């Protein structure tokens, strides 16, 4: 095995990472530093500290990254109105570069020469983590147990845990969720179980954050969201920080049955995968951001953003957050947001997000005097349209003549 003295492990305290911790010691005979990130997953993280202490881990990191996650990763992504393959709001994808960043920082702080993740060799996360590691620390050693060991089933993991006296609370047969889940302030994802058959409907009992649209309240919820330079800063006139703002939108959206999707996506490694996602706050935020851009962005600027968004979404999905091309594209996107200021009013009702109004005191390009269907008092000369049309039709007329039309 590669000579490794100290490794920083992305650690949750669950079955996989508890086994990995012991496996690292058995396989590499190295010191292990554990790192647990609080990204708003809604779980008590102190048990992870206790488990690491019981393992005899001397350096334990449990970091609250919620504010940084939303401010520096989620919000920049939403400035681009980012959606992967028309549906997925990238809740898992956008968390990985931050985890990778903090792991590398901890490796530097502790003098570790390696980092380790628990992503499988079939998924996207192995790519996202490792591109992040190498993009920030090119000579770091990376350990990916799922690509090295022979513990390729839950039964083998449990047997290994029992053999080494690793306590796995709530992991007995029939306990816990039947799905592979990932949660943070932006979303919850569900994979595995019955979802591995794309014809089998998802189960209502699976969803954690939202009521079904059918069971949502019969009275709509009306909210205002204020934007400054493309980022939401207030709900109903109350200014709040990024993490709290997204948390409130999650609650509002979940209460109204908003943000559920069931999709089959194309993984970067080449296979198709079915997943279900709950993204209530993000669904609201995307609709609101597009609404405020509709009155504050020039047409060609808006269309340029829309044209680059699919490439930008692919970069995030595939793990290229720290790449020079993503950073260059981010600079372009952020430049467009200087005038994206104002308020959007939304109706949340039984799974739907309806824009009721949008307003900007300083940056609106909407001119009612020109757009009106009533007498515009000469603000727009309709005769100008004739020349505009003739010039734009010139190439079409020439082509028609060539065809003998």
The secondary structure element, H or E, covering residue 183 is strand 180-183
In the chain the first and final C-alpha atoms are separated, in Å, by: 75
Walk me through the domains of the chain, giving residue ranges and CATH numbers: 6-65+91-176 (3.40.50.620), 181-297+340-359 (3.90.1260.10), 376-402 (no CATH)
Is 180 among the catalytic positions? yes
Q: In whole numbers, what is the pLDDT of the chain averaged over residues?
A: 94
Nearest to 76 by CA among 61, 65, 90: 90
DSSP class per residue in 60-96: EEEEE-HHHHIIIIIHHHHTTT--BTTTB--TTGGGH
pLDDT of residue 174: 40
Burial class (CB within 10 angstroms; exposed 0-12, middle 13-18, buried 19+) of 185? buried
pLDDT of residue 292: 98
- Looking at residue 257, the DSSP 8-state letter turns out to be T
pLDDT of residue 168: 73
Is 16 among the catalytic positions? yes
Average pLDDT over residues 12-18: 90
pLDDT tier at 28 (50, 70, 90 boundaries)? very high
Active-site pick, 180, 294, 323, 364: 180
Is 96 among the catalytic positions? yes
Is 125 among the catalytic positions? yes
Asked if pLDDT for residue 76 goes beyond 70, the answer is yes
Asked if pLDDT for residue 319 goes beyond 50, the answer is yes
Active-site pick, 12, 16, 128, 273: 16
**224-258 pLDDT, tens digit each:** 999 999 999 999 999 999 999 999 999 999 999 99
Asked if pLDDT for residue 376 goes beyond 60, the answer is yes
Calculate what percentage of the chain has a pLDDT beyond 70.
97
**259-285 pLDDT, tens digit each:** 999 999 999 999 999 999 999 999 999
Q: Which residue has the tokens 């950073």?
A: 327
**203-230 pLDDT, tens digit each:** 999 999 999 999 999 999 999 999 999 9
Active-site pick, 66, 96, 102, 274: 96
pLDDT of residue 178: 82
Active-site pick, 125, 182, 226, 231: 125
Asked if pLDDT for residue 42 goes beyond 90, the answer is no
Asked if pLDDT for residue 2 goes beyond 70, the answer is no
């Amino acid at each position: 095995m590669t000579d490794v003295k100290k490794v920083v492990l992305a650690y949750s305290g669950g079955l996989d990472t508890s086994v990995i911790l012991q496996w690292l010691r058995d396989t590499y005979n190295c010191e292990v530093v554990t790192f647990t990130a609080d990204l708003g997953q809604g779980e008590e993280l102190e048990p992870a500290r206790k488990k690491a202490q019981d393992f005899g881990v001397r350096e334990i990191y449990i970091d609250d990254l919620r504010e940084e996650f939303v401010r520096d990763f989620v919000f920049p992504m939403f400035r681009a109105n980012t959606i992967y393959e028309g549906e997925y709001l990238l809740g898992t994808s956008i968390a990985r570069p931050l985890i990778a960043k903090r792991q590398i920082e901890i490796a530097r702080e502790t003098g570790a020469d390696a980092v380790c993740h628990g992503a499988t060799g079939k998924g996207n996360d192995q790519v996202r983590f490792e591109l992040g590691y190498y993009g920030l620390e090119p000579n770091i050693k990376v350990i990916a147990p799922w690509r090295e060991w022979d513990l390729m089933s839950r039964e083998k993991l449990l047997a290994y845990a029992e053999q080494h006296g690793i306590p796995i609370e709530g992991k007995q047969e029939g306990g816990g969720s039947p799905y592979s889940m990932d949660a943070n302030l932006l979303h919850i994802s569900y994979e595995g179980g019955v979802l591995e058959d794309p014809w089998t409907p998802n189960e209502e009992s699976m969803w954690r954050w939202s009521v079904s649209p059918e069971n949502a309240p019969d009275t709509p919820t009306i909210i205002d969201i204020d934007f400054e330079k493309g980022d939401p800063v207030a709900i109903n006139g109350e200014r709040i920080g990024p993490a709290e703002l997204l948390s409130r939108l999650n609650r509002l959206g979940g209460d109204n049955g908003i943000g559920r999707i069931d999709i089959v996506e194309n993984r970067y490694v080449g296979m198709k995968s079915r997943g279900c996602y709950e993204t209530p706050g993000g669904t609201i935020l995307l609709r609101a951001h597009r609404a405020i851009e509709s009155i504050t962005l020039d047409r060609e600027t808006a269309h340029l953003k829309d044209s680059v968004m699919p490439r930008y979404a692919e970069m995030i999905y595939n793990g290229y957050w720290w790449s020079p091309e993503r950073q260059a594209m981010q600079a372009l996107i952020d430049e467009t947001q200087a005038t994206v200021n104002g308020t959007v009013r939304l109706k949340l009702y039984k799974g739907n997000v309806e824009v009721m109004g949008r307003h900007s005191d300083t940056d609106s390009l909407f001119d009612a005097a020109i757009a009106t269907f009533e007498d515009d008092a000469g603000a727009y000369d309709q005769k100008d349209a004739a020349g505009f049309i003739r010039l734009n039709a010139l190439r079409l007329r020439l082509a028609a003549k060539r065809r003998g039309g």
